[in-house]
Amino acid sequence: MNKWTRRGLLTAGVLAGTTLVVGVAIRPGHRAPRVRALVANDEEALLNVWVKIAPNNRVTAIVPHAEMGQGAHSTLAQMLADELDADWRLVDVLEAPAHEEYANHNLAKGLLLGETELPRFLVGSADGAFLKIMQAMDMQITGGSMSVRATGTHGMRVAGAAARQMLAEAAAAAWQVPARELVLRDSRISHPGSGQDAPYAEFAAVAAQFAPPAKPPLKSPADFRLMGTSAARLDLPPKVDGRAAFGIDAQVDGMLVATVRSSPVFGGTVASVDDAAALAMPGVTKVIDLGDAVAVVADGYWHASRGLQALDVEWASGAWGGASQADIFAQFARDLSQADVEGGDVEVDVGDVDAAMADAALRLEAEYRVPYLAHATMEPMNCTAWVRDGVCDVWTGTQNPLGLRAAIAEALDLEPAAVRVHNGYLGGGFGRRAYHDYGVQAARIAALAGAPVKLIWSREEDIAQDRYRPASLSRFRAGIDPDGTPVAWHNLYVDKHEPAPAPHIPYAIANRRIEHAASPTHVPFGFWRSVDHSQHGFFTESFVDEVAHAAGKDPYQFRRDLLAHAPRHRQVLDAAAKAGDWGTAMGAGRGRGIALQDSFGTIVAQVVDVAIVAGQATVERVVCAVDAGFAVNPDGLVAQMESGIVYALSAALFGEISIERGRVRQSNYHDYPVLRIDQMPLIDTVIVNGGGPLGGAGEPGTPPLAPALANAVFAATGRRIRELPLSKHDLGTPRQDLA
């Protein structure tokens, strides 16, 4: 059901009845008075927890998400301002504090309900339930491409529309006119019949006394004035002129600086530490044994890092001290082979794969692998902490301020309310700053140092102590009938993470089985941009290309023929192929590849042009077609596609974290390189507003790049790339496993 009715709910049985009873008890009510002291001064009117209006008529959107370059602050403010009919030139944005009233309940609402429309009498109960759930989980997360499609849809738009209705009611009462006769536009209210006109600020204080409506009417797309336009981003001017404050910019009077070295083998501990030489170094004030790491505190970062180098530390590495990358992939292979015999955990089982495979005219098999990947954010992990008088203040950049608050409170044995998180701009996140290890370290060090301390990880520590995109192995089998139509698809891979549909394919193949096998290692798992889609996009779209070529068909037309049931997917594929000049001659040593991935509610197809130079692939052009349902800010959507492509190119061309003696072999950008500006290809992005539910933008640009690139290399060389990164391969030397 896309729409629930009162009758449908009441006749749904005991579950509905229980929901109503619980829901009435947990309705959140008017929450603004509970947060007013956190987000507004005495002169500002707080109409609801998400919007305030100042006496100068400036509107501030309060958003529960971090700004890490994705433009979320501005786009969410844009959605609120459109429903409020505010003048964009008078709009500001404020990141919500790490407080339980700003737990991401709209994110949970978006994940669980999607576009489902609740009846008015249930909205308050649902909001209260979701708020309690997210408060219990300490969730104030930015990630999963959920900011716009969840918080924007269920939070910002509703908040803006509610504030608009409250202002109209206040003006109608003041002017003694019907509210329906008022015109609200560009942060002003007018009554054409009487000629009265005033700014929103004139009615804001009275409007703030009303309880916000739980389900105000929202605009239809035809009435949008800001949504759908490339409104100027609010975070760019301060980033250009230097006013922007990132976590690492924090300054506190009397602040010391620390740096840290953790056990190089994950899970290891400190066996012993000789700190005499370090303590004799200039500026060093303290050496702290954290159990699994050692920190040096000094009067500046240089002295702290020099002191760290002078430490003599012995580590207890545990059982994993001898693990290697070869061992890990051998383990993956054994576990897959066992699952192939005994059966894996089945997630898709359609038709009869075994029978279709047996009857197929042509059968194809392939195995793909990808390495671990680090996040390598430009701003290294850092956090400033000050613990005194039973209170801990922290200044940092985190993707989950409320979660960090809870983690520090637990580490220091404080009440959560005694931890105050001051979140700055994030110099890159990509999932890494959803973890709290660096913040907890900073708080522990500051508590033991007895002074405010800024902890800064070195780049080497950042690479060696990441939460990594997992390495993976994936095996495929396909069956093709005599006319070149695929009739069977079987995929078996190691380790299931999120999102669940990542290995699923949109193509109409009658018999499909997708299964996985667990193969845990000691390497810490982490959310990495697009999460499982980053591996499975490469796996599935590369193998689709193999099947197309084995069937003797053009890779684009092959995909298109299998998408007759999916018009949005086909439209995006067509847009990419058209803009990417599919079918035109490329010339010797050059190739063009295509790939499609549906992730985070957004469909993306990419066409990549490569030239093979000195045995390596030079990417010349990427064409990206994207359907996120509706582009709230087209320029922002394009920027996110470009960002995802750059991130994916770094990984596909160079990215590899490898394990030797239980530890990460790489240490800095010299052996974990990222894309340089002179390697940047031309990127053309085509927006397809397909009209479906809003999709994400931060994640979906990444997955199609690697397979499109590998498919382009095949087109140029006849060599099939089944293992990343490309830098491992000399494309000028023929191999035995040519496709």
Model pLDDT for residues 372-381, shown as the tens digit of each residue = 999 999 999 9
CA atoms within 13 A of residue 34's CA, in its CB half-sphere: 9
- Is 360 in the same domain as 436? no
Q: How would residue 604 be classed by pLDDT, with cut points 50, 70 and 90?
A: very high
Segments forming the whole domain that contains residue 330:
326-372+468-728
pLDDT score of 28: 67
Q: How would residue 736 be classed by pLDDT, with cut points 50, 70 and 90?
A: very low
Question: Using CB atoms within 10 A of its CB, is residue 251 exposed (0-12), middle (13-18) or buried (19+)?
Answer: exposed
- Is 169 in the same domain as 301? no
**735: in domain:** no
Q: Give the residue carrying structure tokens 């690139």.
A: 709
Question: Using CB atoms within 10 A of its CB, is residue 216 exposed (0-12), middle (13-18) or buried (19+)?
Answer: middle
Whole-angstrom distance, CA of residue 48 vs CA of residue 38: 13
**Which of 190, 206, 241 is the C-terminal boundary of a domain?**
241
**379: in domain:** no
The residues pairing with 46 across neighbouring beta strands, listed in sequence order, are: 52
Instruction: Report whether the peptide linkage leading into residue 725 is cis, meaning its omega lies within 30 degrees of zero.
Output: yes
- Is 199 in the same domain as 297? no
Mean pLDDT of the chain: 94
Q: How would residue 724 be classed by pLDDT, with cut points 50, 70 and 90?
A: very high
**Which of 206, 241, 276 is the C-terminal boundary of a domain?**
241
pLDDT score of 112: 84
CB 379 within 8 A of CB 413: no
- Is 569 in the same domain as 667? yes
Whole-angstrom distance, CA of residue 593 vs CA of residue 607: 6
- Is 236 in the same domain as 302? no
Helix 705-717 crosses helix 634-653 at what angle (to 10 degrees)? Answer: 60
- Is 140 in the same domain as 38? yes
pLDDT score of 27: 58
**Which of 211, 241, 271 is the C-terminal boundary of a domain?**
241
CB 586 within 8 A of CB 715: yes
Per DSSP, 152 falls in state I
pLDDT score of 15: 30
CB 495 within 8 A of CB 473: no
Assign residue 89 the CATH number of its domain: 3.30.365.10
Over range 102-108, report the average pLDDT: 93
**10: in domain:** no
pLDDT score of 648: 98
Closest CA to 123 of 15, 12, 26: 26
Over range 89-109, report the average pLDDT: 95
**Six-digit token pair at 142?**
């930015």
pLDDT score of 375: 98
Whole-angstrom distance, CA of residue 426 vs CA of residue 698: 14
CB 155 within 8 A of CB 111: no
- Is 362 in the same domain as 216? no
Assign residue 275 the CATH number of its domain: 3.90.1170
**13: in domain:** no
Q: Give the residue carrying structure tokens 């990164």.
A: 725
Q: How would residue 106 be classed by pLDDT, with cut points 50, 70 and 90?
A: very high
Whole-angstrom distance, CA of residue 555 vs CA of residue 222: 38
- Is 291 in the same domain as 361? no
**588: in domain:** yes
Q: How many domains does the chain have?
A: 3
Q: Write out pLDDT tens, residues 305-318.
A: 999 999 999 999 98
Question: Using CB atoms within 10 A of its CB, is residue 38 exposed (0-12), middle (13-18) or buried (19+)?
Answer: middle
Residue 3 has pLDDT above 80, yes or no: no
Q: How would residue 23 be classed by pLDDT, with cut points 50, 70 and 90?
A: very low
CB 692 within 8 A of CB 586: no
Ranges 27-31, 63-67, 418-422, 527-531: which has the least confidence: 27-31
Q: Give the residue carrying structure tokens 């994640």.
A: 699
- Is 612 in the same domain as 701? yes
Whole-angstrom distance, CA of residue 132 vs CA of residue 29: 13
Instruction: Report whether the peptide linkage leading into residue 499 is cis, meaning its omega lies within 30 degrees of zero.
Output: yes
- Is 598 in the same domain as 450? no
Ranges 29-38, 68-77, 399-408, 529-538: which has the least confidence: 29-38
Closest CA to 244 of 61, 54, 436, 69: 69
**11: in domain:** no
Whole-angstrom distance, CA of residue 14 vs CA of residue 621: 58
Closest CA to 637 of 93, 158, 234, 72: 72
Question: Using CB atoms within 10 A of its CB, is residue 418 exposed (0-12), middle (13-18) or buried (19+)?
Answer: middle
Over range 561-565, report the average pLDDT: 98
pLDDT score of 111: 85
Strand blocks (E) in 64-134: 91-95
**513: in domain:** yes
**4: in domain:** no
- Is 435 in the same domain as 505? no
pLDDT score of 600: 97
Whole-angstrom distance, CA of residue 70 vs CA of residue 72: 6
Q: Write out pLDDT tens, residues 673-705.
A: 999 999 999 999 999 999 989 999 999 999 999
**Six-digit token pair at 657?**
């974290």
For residue 635, how far is the Cα from the chain centroid? 19
Q: Write out pLDDT tens, residues 609-637.
A: 999 988 999 999 999 999 999 999 999 99
- Is 568 in the same domain as 589? yes
Give percent of the chain with pLDDT exceeding 90.
Answer: 90
Q: What is the pTM of this model?
A: 0.94
DSSP 233-264: PTTHHHHHHT---BGGG---TT-EEEEEEE-S
